[in-house]
Amino acid sequence: MKRSWQIFWHIFSWICVIAFFASIARYSGKMTTKAVAVIFGLYGIINISVFYVNYLLLIPKFLNRKRYKLFVLSIITTLIAYGLLKYGVGLIFKDIILDRMKGQSIGFWKYFLNTFFITLIFLFLSTVLKFTIDWFLNERVQRDLENQRLTAELSFLKSQINPHFLFNSLNSIYSLAYQKSDTTPEAILKLSEIMRYMLYECNDNKVDLSKELQYLQNYIDLQKIRFGNKAFINFEVLGEVTNQQIVPLLLISFIENAFKHGIANDAQHPIQMRINVEGGRLYFFIQNKKHSHNRDAA
């Protein structure tokens, strides 16, 4: 919300509050127009100024900086200062303020204590409002930071996956085309679907689980083609896949590493992959036989 709109809503809210109570007092017939103007107009402005002295000055300068002793001292000083100010205004409008109770003048200490509690209420309300707004702002900042972190992690993950995977896939497709293999069109189609998903469909923090599983299936199918259909891979999805969502590209690193560091063409030790969707949770299991030598350079 822009600052101008914040100021507008603050002013509008105070006008509504003052007008509401002033109209009740006026139409009850117990107060004259002058008394209503002084008590709800002039004193209303004074009380509102107490509210914003605490809201804009005392809390940011002392309380937010954990200078608690200075904050308490400033609150006490404000209570005393505004008590004296209100009594001074009461002396100016003595017939309306101090002499309004059956002609008996209200003494200083009695009037001071009455205004003391009213001032304290406005200080309390401003403190509650300040902490409430700050809490909501902090929550929004935390959500924005979390979204930025997830976006950065997703971008980093995509940057790690794309080059390695793309070059290997293109090399495999080139080999298939060179051999005039009938699986070349299928391999190109699978790669096209994978790249479309990675570039256009997984830019949000969450994607449909069904799309993510289809992406994994396409990746596995492309790897099978790359191994000339001599890869032994067991991939199964258990449970009901409906409208669940998942962080995109969360599982692909495990699957990619299974092909990169594992042995896929051993019938006795196939790559085992199992996804179980159960009770709002996703369980992922993967197992592969590891190469005896390092394939990081591959």
- State mean pLDDT over 137-157: 77
- State mean pLDDT over 214-238: 86
pLDDT value of position 2: 66
How many Cα atoms are found within 13 Å in the side-chain-facing hemisphere of 252? 28
* Residue that the structure tokens 């990675």 belong to: 198
Give the phi and the psi of residue 269 in degrees, each rounded to 5. -135, 70
pLDDT value of position 32: 67
| Distance of alpha carbon 199 from the chain centroid | 25
Tokens (6 digits) for 77: 């000083």
Q: How far apart are alpha carbons 219 and 236 in whole angstroms? A: 14
pLDDT surpassing 60 at residue 18: yes
Give me the percent of the chain exceeding a pLDDT of 70. 84
3-state secondary structure the chain: CCHHHHHHHHHHHHHHHHHHHHHHHHHCCCCCHHHHHHHHHHHHHHHHHHHHHHHHHHHHHHHCCCCHHHHHHHHHHHHHHHHHHHHHHHHHCCCCCCCCECCECCCHHHHHHHHHHHHHHHHHHHHHHHHHHHHHHHHHHHHHHHHHHHHHHHHHHHHHHHHHHHHHHHHHHHHHHHCCCCCHHHHHHHHHHHHHHHHHHCCCCCEEHHHHHHHHHHHHHHHHHHCCCCCCEEEEEECCCCCCEECCCCCHHHHHHHHHHECCCCCCCCEEEEEEEECCEEEEEEECCECCCCCCCC
The residue type found at 257 is: N
Check if the beta carbon of residue 227 is closer than 8 Å to that of residue 209.
Answer: no
User: Using one digit for the tens of pLDDT, what is the confidence trace for 155-187?
Assistant: 666 665 556 667 777 887 888 787 787 888 888
pLDDT value of position 277: 92
Q: Residue 229 — pLDDT band, cuts 50, 70, 90?
A: low
Tokens (6 digits) for 171: 């090399």
Check if the beta carbon of residue 168 is closer than 8 Å to that of residue 226.
Answer: yes
Greatest extent of the chain over all pairs of C-alpha atoms, in Å? 112
Predicted TM-score (pTM) of this structure: 0.48
- State mean pLDDT over 195-211: 82
Q: How far apart are alpha carbons 250 and 17 in whole angstroms? A: 53
pLDDT surpassing 80 at residue 219: yes
In terms of average pLDDT, the best of 102-106, 152-156, 179-183 is 179-183
Q: How far apart are alpha carbons 267 and 264 in whole angstroms? A: 8
Average pLDDT, the chain: 80
The residue type found at 146 is: E
Q: Residue 212 — pLDDT band, cuts 50, 70, 90?
A: very high
Give the phi and the psi of residue 116 in degrees, each rounded to 5. -60, -50
User: Using one digit for the tens of pLDDT, what is the confidence trace for 29-78?
Assistant: 566 667 767 777 778 888 888 888 888 888 888 888 888 888 889 888 88
pLDDT value of position 99: 60
pLDDT value of position 157: 61
